[in-house]
Amino acid sequence: MAKKKNKKTKKSFKAPRFSINRKQKILLGVFLFLFAVGLLLAFVSFLFTWESDQSLIGSAVSSQEKPANWLSKFGATVSYFLIYDGFGVAVFSLPFMIALTGLKLFLEIKKISLKNIWFWGIYVMITLSLFFAFFGKTYPILGGVVGFEIKEYLSVYIGDIGLGLLIAFMMIAYLVARLQITPEKISNFFKSKKQAVENDFKKAKEANQKNKDQEVQPSSDKIEKKEKLNEKPDVAAEVKFENDLTSSEDQKKSEEDSSKKEQAKQPQKIVIDSQNEDDDLSLEVETGQEEDDDEIDSKSKKIVENFGEFDPKLDLSKYQFPTIDLLKDYSKGAGITIDQKELEENKNKIVETLKNYKIGIAQIKATVGPTVTLYEIIPEAGIRISKIRNLEDDIALSLSALGIRIIAPIPGRGTIGIEVPNQNPSIVSMRSVAASQKFQKAEMQLPIAFGKNISNETFVADLAKMPHLLMAGATGQGKSVGLNVILTSLLYHKHPAEVKFVLVDPKKVELTLFNKIERHYLAKLPDTDDAIITDNSKVIDTLNSLCIEMDARYDLLKDAMVRNIVEYNAKLKARKLNPENGHRFLPYIVLVVDEFADLIMTAGKDVETPIARLAQLARAIGIHLIIATQRPSVNVITGMIKANFPARIAFRVTSKIDSRTILDAGGADQLIGRGDMLYTQGNDLVRLQCAFVDTPEIDKITEFIGSQKAYPDAYLLPEYTSEDSGTATLENEIDERDKLFDKAAEVIVTAQQGSASLLQRKLKLGYNRAGRLIDQLEAAGIVGQFEGSKARQVHIPDLIALKELLENEKK
Ligand SMILES: Nc1ncnc2c1ncn2[C@@H]1O[C@H](COP(=O)(O)OP(=O)(O)OP(=O)(O)O)[C@@H](O)[C@H]1O
């Protein structure tokens, strides 16, 4: 109740608004402009007549004693009070202020700000008056009485030197604040002048050189021409044509140079006349108008010179990357332990087993990795590789070990590999891979340090190149750890402005820790509370929203005439793309889906279609998918999905069929678990030991990031409303309007530009909602119809008219 009352009282005390219509504005504008002209004339003539007119000021004027001022008594009096008794010659700025005010009213020029004109006009008047009073002591008319009095008053307090310094400061302040003259601009100006002079000098030198060359040439030309003239009369015309060209070449060249640029801008027409006289057909070839790239380039260069490159990290410029010591060192510095006895025993067993099958070995070599040791053998000449391949189970039996994998042959090495698990596998800590030079210095867009390969080298791959990743493995074999490794790698390498995660976690517990970095790294749908998606129905909305984001990004790329996100962001940083046209820095978006099988079972096609679309198209615009599943069966990883996920990771799976589904090859069923994995990016299979990162470490990292200054909200994805929830109609139903209708109307009318992207930016809305608002504004008659690439017209001139319209509607 109290609130209601307050509202009412507020309404009743509303101050009346002062507004004049266009006709009154024109009249007032003309009056002010002419008044300013009169004032200027009076001031100018006062400079010559003030002494003779002085005696007449203030006295009653008889008709014989007419003041000499061009504006007579009025001119003499006003000038006397403003110049002599006022601010001196500095008052000349007054007619200009009045004239500009008149012009603004008359022509309705929006660029002119009255506040600025009057503030700076009066500032200049006072500064100049003080300046003239200080330096022109012998001519009181220069500074006027006001200038003189201020000068006297100030010099008592700060002395003449202080006053001189104050005047200098006031002048510099004007130059910097009003005219925006900075030391950089001045030095740039001189630099460009210097460059221009140097260029002129160069050109003159070149021209001189050419002249000299031509002075030598004509004589030989002439001889040639004479000879030609004698030989063939009909060629003479041709020669003469050439001659004309050379003689007037110099003059023409300069003309050509200047006109060349013009020509380049014009669309060029080439008319090819038919050689055959009977055939009067002519072919007109028109070449398209060239882009005025030079102009855009120089403009953006200037902006870059003045403001530097666009820095997307500026909002969180103090952001600190997590330090390596937040990660635990599992190896305790020991690294891999080589058990000579174990190596020898295994070697002997392999040699013996093969001997039993009459396979002789020419050479054997061992490479010890973190979990497995690779024995490379070169069989004796004449032994068929397939024979060794078929002995896989027999060798495993004789070595009495799980997880033996035979690679026959190892691509590019000419050997046959037998991988035998180590008795004491060592853990590859995330710390060791994150600290490795290979990862730290990786020049990749989205580097991921998966772990270590068989030679114990850190294995780093670029997610941007994959461009999507499929991950499978039976329960408890290291999938979740693998996902954490990927996310941690990105957290250690990418600023929050550069990458955003969309996390789907139906298990609800695996990725919860990343909630702490919601406002740094996560992306979510507008109007949702949790960024991490645990509800399967929300996943469909999110995937569709990502499709909308993808389409919007493609539009931006098309508009910027670039092919991928890297080129786009580079162009944006060089300030060649105007944010006013909707251009914005595009962070990478990494979508992580855990338990994909669960999702497919509940949502089926609704999920598969957008996933397949994203997988097919999203690579160029920086959206990358990581999909993990326990059950890599064919109805989960369908052909369509598989075709678009060339990069795959298999942890240990339970059957050969599963291995084939995920890798298109066997082997994953023979892994030993605990992060032992096979990775392929379309061609070779690489056996890796996945790095290990434990929950407390993730906790520490997210805590470290989460405690820093963040963005106000998570990265908002475009809004998606499913089709069955009804599309916008053009009916002007006031009750069904969006809550933000009034606000949106205000934004559009203030900017006088009817575009959905403007609403998106100003009101932080999703694309769909902004589009719906524009439709509603069209239905209400506030904006015009859709006009293709142009912004819609706005039919309401100002906020007052808008208010009237909205109030009338409610009646
Ligand atoms: N890279 C690794 N190095 C060492 N041990 C690991 C590694 N990855 C996983 N493990 C061990 O395996 C256990 C299970 O791993 P994880 O939770 O990642 O399995 P998962 O495949 O996600 O299982 P689920 O599908 O049931 O969630 C971990 O607790 C850890 O002890």
Ligand 1 centre to CA of 690 (Å) is 10
Q: How far is the CA of 628 from the centre of ligand 1 (A)?
A: 13
> Taking 70 as the threshold, does the pLDDT of residue 150 lie above it?
yes
Residue nearest to atom 15 of ligand 1 (CA): 478
Q: Rounded to the nearest whole angstrom, what is the distance from the C-alpha of residue 480 to the centroid of ligand 1?
A: 6
Mutate to test the pocket of ligand 1, among 330, 651, 674 (most ligand atoms within 8 A of CB): 674
Residue 207 clears pLDDT 80, i.e. is over it: no
pLDDT band at 224 (very low <50, low <70, confident <90, very high): very low
354-378 burial, b if ≥16 CB within 10 A, otherwise e? beeeebebeebebebbbbbbbbbbb
Note the pLDDT tens digit of each residue in 234-252: 333 333 333 333 334 444 4
Answer whether residue 655 shows pLDDT above 50: yes
| Residue with CA nearest ligand 1 atom 13 | 476
**Is the pLDDT confidence value at 453 over 60?**
yes
Classify residue 177 by burial, with Cβ atoms within 10 Å: 0-12, 13-18, 19+: exposed
Residue closest via CA to ligand 1's atom 5 equals: 674
Least reliable range by pLDDT among 29-43, 224-238, 282-296, 692-706: 224-238
Name which residue sits closest to atom 12 of ligand 1, judged by CA: 674
Q: Find the mean pLDDT for residues 559-587.
A: 88
Q: What is the mean pLDDT of residues 135-154?
A: 81
Q: Tell the CATH topology of 430-715.
A: Rossmann fold (3.40.50)
Greatest C-alpha distance within the chain: 142
Angle of helix 72-79 relative to helix 22-53, nearest 10 degrees, comes to: 80
Q: Is 781 annotated as contributing to ligand binding? A: no
Give me ligand 1 centre to Cα 425, in Å: 15
Tokens 């990290």, located at residue = 313
* 625 Cβ contact list (under 8 Å, min separation 6): 468, 469, 590, 591, 593, 611, 614, 615, 618, 645
Query: What is the whole-number distance in angstroms between the Cα of residue 201 and the centre of ligand 1?
Result: 73
End-to-end CA distance of the chain: 24
Which residue from 350, 533, 372, 534 is spatially nearest to 453, judged by alpha carbons? 372
More confidently predicted of 611 and 761: 611
DSSP character at residue 179: S
Q: Which of 238-252, 288-302, 340-354 has the highest mean pLDDT?
A: 340-354
Residue nearest atom 1 in ligand 1 by C-alpha distance: 675
Q: Mean per-residue pLDDT for 451-467?
A: 90
Average confidence (pLDDT) over 462-483 = 92
pLDDT exceeds cutoff 60 at 578: yes
Positive or negative, the Cα torsion across 480, 483, 488, 491?
Answer: negative
Q: Which protein residue has the closest C-alpha to ligand 1 atom 23?
A: 476
Region 313-337: what's the mean pLDDT?
A: 79
Averaged confidence pLDDT in the chain: 79
- Residue 626 pLDDT exceeds 90: yes
Residue 531 near residue 515 (C-beta atoms within 8 A): yes
**What does the pLDDT read at residue 297?**
61
Residue 210's pLDDT is: 63
Question: Which one of 372, 426, 430, 480 would you pick to mutate in the ligand 1 pocket, going by the greatest count of ligand atoms within 8 A of its CB?
Answer: 480
- Give me ligand 1 centre to Cα 482, in Å: 8
pLDDT at 577: 84
**Is 474 part of any known ligand binding site?**
yes
**pLDDT band at residue 336 using 50, 70 and 90 as cut-offs:** low
* Ligand 1 pocket, Cβ-based, cut-off 6 angstroms: 427, 473, 475-481, 630, 674-675, 690, 692
The atom of ligand 1 lying closest to the CA of 451 is 1
**465: annotated binding-site residue?**
no
If you measure from the C-alpha of residue 673 to the centroid of ligand 1, how many angstroms do you get, rounded to a whole number? 8
Q: Start-end ranges of CATH 1.10.10.10 in the chain?
A: 727-810
In sequence order, the β-bridge partners of residue 716 are: 524
For residue 153, the model assigns a pLDDT of 87
The larger pLDDT score, comparing residue 414 to residue 257, is at: 414
In the chain, list all ranges with CATH 3.30.980.40. 340-417
Ligand 1 centroid vs 402 CA: distance in angstroms? Answer: 18
pLDDT score of 588: 95
Distance 520 CA to ligand 1 centre (A): 27
Measured by CA distance, the residue closest to atom 14 of ligand 1 is 476
pLDDT at residue 229 in the model: 39
Residues of the chain with CATH 3.40.50.300: 430-715
Q: How far is CA 526 from the centre of its chain?
A: 21
Determine the pLDDT at residue 238.
33
Minimum CA distance residue for ligand 1 atom 31: 674
Ligand 1, closest atom to CA 483?
18
Instruction: Tell me the mean pLDDT in the region 540-564.
Output: 90
Task: Kindly list the distances between the CA atom of residue 709 and the CA atoms of 151, 317, 501, 520, 706, in Å, as whole numbers in the listed order.
Answer: 50, 10, 18, 9, 8
pLDDT, tens digit, 9 for 90 and up, residues 168-195: 998 888 888 877 777 777 777 777 777 7
| CATH label, 340-417, candidates 3.40.50.720, 3.30.70.260, 3.20.20.70, 3.30.980.40 | 3.30.980.40
pLDDT, residue 33, reads 92
Q: Of ligand 1's atoms, which has the minimum distance to the CA of residue 485?
A: 1
Is residue 109 over pLDDT 80? no
- Residue minimizing CA distance to atom 24 of ligand 1: 475
Report the percent of the chain where pLDDT is more than 70.
80
pLDDT at 735 over 90: no
**564 CB-near residues (< 8 Å, 6+ apart):** 557, 620, 621, 622
pLDDT at 271: 42
Instruction: Please tell me whether 193 is known to bind a ligand.
Output: no
| Contact indicator for 590, 499 with CB cutoff of 8 Å | yes
Atom 9 in ligand 1: residue holding the nearest Cα: 478
Q: What value of ipTM does the predicted structure carry?
A: 0.97
- Looking at the DSSP assignment, which residues form a beta bridge with residue 148? none
CB 602 within 8 A of CB 512: no
Least confident of 269-283, 441-455, 716-730: 269-283
Residue 102 parent element (H or E): helix 93-107
Confidence check: pLDDT of 82 > 50:
yes
Report which ligand 1 atom has the smallest distance to the Cα of 477: 21
In Å, what is the CA distance from 758 to each residue of 714, 737, 771, 773, 776? 20, 19, 11, 11, 15
The closest residue, in CA terms, to atom 20 on ligand 1 is 476
CA–centroid distance, 521 to ligand 1, in Å, is: 24
Judge whether 479 is annotated as a binding position. Answer: yes
What atom in ligand 1 is closest to the CA of residue 630?
25
- Tell whether residue 476 is among the known ligand binding residues: yes
Torsion of CA 785, 790, 791, 794, to 10 degrees: -60
Type of residue numbered 99: A
Q: Please report the atom of ligand 1 found closest to the CA of residue 651.
A: 21
What pLDDT is recorded for position 803? 86
| 727-810 topology per CATH | Arc Repressor Mutant, subunit A (1.10.10)
Q: Which of 371-385, 571-585, 692-706, 722-736 has the lowest mean pLDDT?
A: 722-736
Q: Is the preceding omega at residue 467 within 30 degrees of 0, hence cis?
A: yes
Beta strand 623-629 with 469-472: parallel, antiparallel or unpaired?
parallel
Whether the predicted pLDDT of 636 surpasses 60: yes
Alpha helices in 340-478 (DSSP H): 340-356, 385-390, 392-399, 430-435, 437-440
Question: How much is the pLDDT for 58?
Answer: 60
- pLDDT of 459: 93
pLDDT of 363: 84
The response to whether 4 counts as a known ligand-binding position is no
Confidence of residue 281 (pLDDT cuts 50, 70, 90): low
From edge to edge, which strands make up the β-sheet containing 372-379? 361-368, 372-379, 415-421, 405-410
CA of 678 to the centre of ligand 1 (A): 15
Looking at the CA of residue 689, tell me the nearest atom of ligand 1.
1
Give the span between the Cα atoms of 35 and 95, in whole angstroms: 8
158 Cα to the center of ligand 1, angstroms: 78
DSSP state string for 193-241: HHHHHHHHHHHHHHHHHHHHHHHHHHHHHHHHHHHHHHH-HHHHHHHHH
Calpha distance 670→676 (Å, rounded): 10
Looking at per-residue pLDDT, the higher value among 423 and 287 belongs to 423
User: Would you call 423 helix, strand, or coil by DSSP?
Assistant: coil
- pLDDT bin (cut points 50, 70, 90) of residue 404 is confident
Q: Flag whether 477 is marked binding.
A: yes
The rounded Å distance from CA 444 to ligand 1 centre is 27
* Stronger pLDDT, 737 or 653, i.e. the higher one: 653
